[in-house]
Amino acid sequence: MFSPDGTRIASVSFDGILRLWEADTCRPLGEPLRDYTVTRVAFSPDGSRIVSGSEDGSIQLWDAETWGPLGDSLRGPELGVNAVEFSPDGSRIVSCSYDKTIQLWDANTGQRLGEPLRGHQSSVLAIAFSADGSRIVSVSADRTIRIWDTETAASANNSDQKYAENVDLSAQDRSQATPLGPLVPGFGQCSLSQDGWVHASDKFLFWVPPDNRHGLIYPNLLTIPVTSSLRTTKLDFTQFQCGPSWTNVRTSSSQ
């Protein structure tokens, strides 16, 4: 991985050697560091620190100039760390694991921020912060991508997973329909087909205009200006009726 200024490279190999390199000359910088369990490394935004994640579940911060450890290692998941990344402002670290979880950390104190984020059904393979640090994207072996709100996730508990959006990579294997979760009262799982129909349990519920489909799939996004074609779509189910009783939604004002 390149340092933010592009002058150095941090590498880790299967033989357990971590090394810094000069990017222009490809010469090693200092002595190599040996840790047989390290799997991933990442630079802090200012290039002064490096974070490493290991198969034994530990996460360690290092001085990027001396390779000296900065404090004690953080105890992550027992099944090992697949990836680690700094937030754009360097204040947080996010890690992901074979145990299907994602964890936020305070990069200065080493404290966990919130509970492990759960939602993927298999190992989480990769993670990254958005440019403004407000969201995290994760990719899993379950063939899904999830987008997490960092502020909510930092104080989240395991009983509330509403801060995650889900994009199903296997949608093409299911008639090109995108899962929407429990979108409609009374239906546990809804899907949005490419032609705009929301359906559940083999029933077509309603049709969504093209300009509103993006906001329906990603309901937690705020788009400015609100006139954008990618604006959020809010659904009002206060008068929702399904089946033969659908005519009950009519009011005197609409007649």
Is pTM, for the whole model, over 0.75? no
* pLDDT in the model for residue 159: 41
User: Cα 133 to the chain's mean position, in Å?
Assistant: 11
Task: Label residue 214 left, alpha or beta by phi (over 0 means left) and psi (-120 to 50 means alpha).
Answer: alpha
Segment 184-196 shows an average pLDDT of 78
**3-state DSSP call for residue 84?**
strand
From residue 187, give the alpha-carbon distance in Å to each of 26, 176, 198, 202, 242.
58, 20, 11, 11, 10
Tokens of 240: 């929702």
pLDDT value at 163 more than 70: no
**3-state DSSP call for residue 241?**
coil
10-24 per-position pLDDT tens digit: 888 767 788 888 888
* Residue pair 95/81 in contact by the 8 Å Cβ criterion: yes
Query: What is the 3-state secondary structure of 99-160?
Result: CCCEEEEECCCCCEEEEEECCCCCCEEEEEECCCCCEEEEEECCCEEEEEEHHHHCCCCCCC
From residue 133, give the alpha-carbon distance in Å to each of 44, 88, 103, 177.
13, 6, 15, 30
98-151 per-position pLDDT tens digit: 888 899 999 998 889 988 888 888 888 899 999 999 899 998 887 888 888 887
Give the Cα-Cα-Cα angle 142, 145, 150 (nearest 5 degrees): 125
* pLDDT in the model for residue 56: 81
* pLDDT in the model for residue 85: 95
28-63 per-position pLDDT tens digit: 888 887 766 787 899 999 999 999 988 888 899 998
Taken in order of first residue, the domains within the chain and their CATH numbers are: 1-169 (2.130.10.10), 172-255 (no CATH)
Flag the least confident range among 68-72, 118-122, 171-175: 171-175
